[in-house]
Amino acid sequence: MRLTTSQALIRFLDQQYVERDGVQHRFFVGCFGIFGHGNVGGVGQALFEYPAFTYYQSRNEQAMVHTAAGYSRMKNRLATFACTSSIGPGATNMLTAAAAATINRLPVLLLPGDIFASRHVDPVLQQLEFPLAADVSVNDCFRPVSRFWDRINRPEQLITSLMQAMRVLTSPADTGTVTLCLPQDVQAEAYDFPDELFAKRVWYIPRPLPDSGLMDRAVARIRAAKRPMIVAGGGVIYGEATDALRAFVHATGIPVAETFAGKGSLPYNDPHQLGAMGATGTEGANAIAAEADVVIGIGTRYSDFTTASKTAFQNPGVSFININIAEFDAHKQSGLALTGDARATLDALGERLARYRVETAYRERVAAYNRSWDEKVALAYAPESDQQLSQAEVIGLVNDFATSTDVVVCAAGSLPGDLHKLWRTRDSKGFHVEYGYSCMGYEIAGGLGVKMADRAREVYVMVGDGSYLMMSSEIVTSIQEDVKLTIILINNHGFASIGGLSRSLGTEGFGTQYRARDEGSGQLDGQLLPVDLAANAASLGATVIRTSDSASFAAALRQAKANDTTTVIYVETGPERKMEGYGHAWWEVPLAAVSQTAGVQEAYQRSVDQKEKQRHHL
Ligand SMILES: Cc1ncc(C[n+]2csc(CCOP(=O)(O)OP(=O)(O)O)c2C)c(N)n1
Ligand SMILES: [Mg+2]
């Protein structure tokens, strides 16, 4: 079939399916894009001529990739979008979100335009010339943030490259950002492509089991354990292993603590549920982790927030068993690596562990932690005064109002830690906090993808003023596509999270408030900036409700639910009523070894003490 590179590409994408557990899913639901000279006559023309493959417009290339990632996370990686950009800035705008998708192990297909393969007109508008090597363009920046990268310099290269692209995108172990750079001239060049390229193709997603000998060892180790615990990561949810996990913990009594991506693996009120793990962890999770003799990590990357910067697991004899589809992660913490599918492995382990059960006293202690934590949550939710709301009260109001299947979306600032601790998650897809890259700007763009993936759920995007100012543009896309979001915009006049961090390091919140430059001091410590974010949101087309206290906030939630377009609930929160850290809830950030400030010197000494607790787990 004689087609341009771009036409062949779009036809191919339209025919890709994945199959897991006997169910097929269309893998690409369409293509997001912003056109420029680097793609308008290529991929743009192909989309124009092939409307069955839906084109979606975005305001910002970074945002559209976040939307694709949010969508694929909500679909447990069984579907995603392609994203087309022009060359140069349109392409590099996608870099941040490309890294975010790869870190979060989410499939997205990027199609950045690239400089002319012919080189005849170099330097084309927006080309960065690299004097030492003529085959380098800004798109080479995508290499370290992609799980597969190629540049299609001849139309027929597409044939082999697409097969690798699909293998990686649909591989639970290898998935992440796939980048196919498309030189702008090659996009429009024709070739006689084989018909088979355009036949329906189903990529089978297997559920492989780990090596049987390793399973024997894992079973022996768990049977000998007195204080085993599970750290549930995103892999439990993406692998749809939550029912298997519940059956496993109910049979064995082994408790569960959850990472950010793993929150929702068990309902918040399951008696085996210890809640959030690590630096933002609950009292119970961190107390049990400190004593655990065997830690079973399932689908987790063991980020520093999870391990409390390697201080969480203090039992001198602690060892790790890691169930992970990616060998890379399965070996972390020197773990016994059960490389395999989370669900299949849990089922098989459960069978082999028949009649194993942790001691009753241990179970009861875990159940007591579960109950006492929920009392702390209730206290945090309860209004402290009828003055300004605190962030915890806002979280409580949203959680109390949301139904069990509604979704909270967040990414950066002080909200993720508070949500990790305080959100009562009742459904495995109810907690969507991007905390692999903690990328300010993900919230609204990612939330758009979440809602596109499941329109039956209300999606509550919780976003700070700092993140909102970085990327609120996708409110416009939500109006354009009639994809309703409820956005809770929390204004605390700057970077409260980093302000708190800065104070804890002795640097007094320097540079973290949105204040004018003061003529006297010459610093940014003057008046609060006269920015009206509510008016800003209204100007983008959202319905905006300004709230000031719990009654007006609760009323706004009801009104937002009745609305059928994107609604922004604006609230200013008061000085932080901070949740304290529990147990080994440390997070390592570097501290100045030399300083004139007493606060910095004291903080440095505290960090030296903490560092003594860091372990290598060899
Ligand atoms: C793109 C990006 N830049 C910088 C940071 C570092 N950072 C983390 S939280 C934060 C402040 C977020 O401010 P806001 O959204 O208002 O939330 P708050 O801290 O006030 O809760 C910053 C600057 C980041 N995570 N992402
Ligand atoms: Mg803020």
Locate the ligand 1 atom nearest the alpha carbon of residue 463 and give its number: 15
What is the structure's pLDDT at 225?
A: 98
What is the structure's pLDDT at 581?
A: 74
From residue 168, how far is each of 109, 148, 176, 453 by CA, in Å?
10, 7, 8, 21
Ligand 1 neighbour 464 (Cβ under 6 A): yes
- How many CA within 13 A on the CB side of residue 155? 21
pLDDT along the chain (618 residues), means of 10: 98 98 98 98 98 98 98 98 98 98 98 98 97 97 98 98 98 98 98 98 98 98 98 98 98 98 98 98 98 98 98 97 98 98 98 97 98 97 84 97 98 97 98 98 98 98 98 98 98 94 92 96 96 98 96 97 98 74 85 93 91 95
Locate the ligand 1 atom nearest the alpha carbon of residue 96 and give its number: 1
The two tokens of residue 9 are 């590409």
What is the structure's pLDDT at 584?
A: 74
Locate the ligand 1 atom nearest the alpha carbon of residue 467 and give its number: 15
Locate the ligand 1 atom nearest the alpha carbon of residue 492 and give its number: 20
325: alpha, beta or left? (left if phi > 0; alpha if psi -120 to 50): alpha
Adjacent-strand bridge partners of 409: 432, 461
What is the structure's pLDDT at 579?
A: 66
Question: Residues 514, 531: contact at Cβ < 8 Å?
Answer: yes
Answer positive or negative: Cα dihedral of 178, 237, 74, 394: negative
> What is the CB neighbour count within 10 angstroms for residue 436?
22
What is the structure's pLDDT at 585?
A: 87
Ligand nearest to the CA of 463: 1
What is the structure's pLDDT at 575?
A: 63
How far does the centroid of ligand 1 lie from the alpha carbon of residue 99, in Å? Answer: 17
What is the structure's pLDDT at 236?
A: 98
Pocket residue to mutate for ligand 1, from 391, 497, 503, most atoms within 8 A of Cβ: 497
What is the structure's pLDDT at 469?
A: 98
Radius of gyration of the chain (CA): 25
What is the structure's pLDDT at 574?
A: 76
Ligand nearest to the CA of 497: 1
What is the structure's pLDDT at 582?
A: 76
Question: Measured between alpha carbons, how far is 322 from 331 in angstroms, rounded to an integer?
Answer: 7
Indicate the pTM of the whole model: 0.98
Ligand nearest to the CA of 440: 1
Question: Measured between alpha carbons, how far is 271 from 443 in angstroms, rounded to an integer?
Answer: 31
DSSP for 530-556?
---HHHHHHHTT-EEEEE-SHHHHHHH
User: Which candidate, 32, 39, 113, places its Cα nearest to that of 69?
Assistant: 32
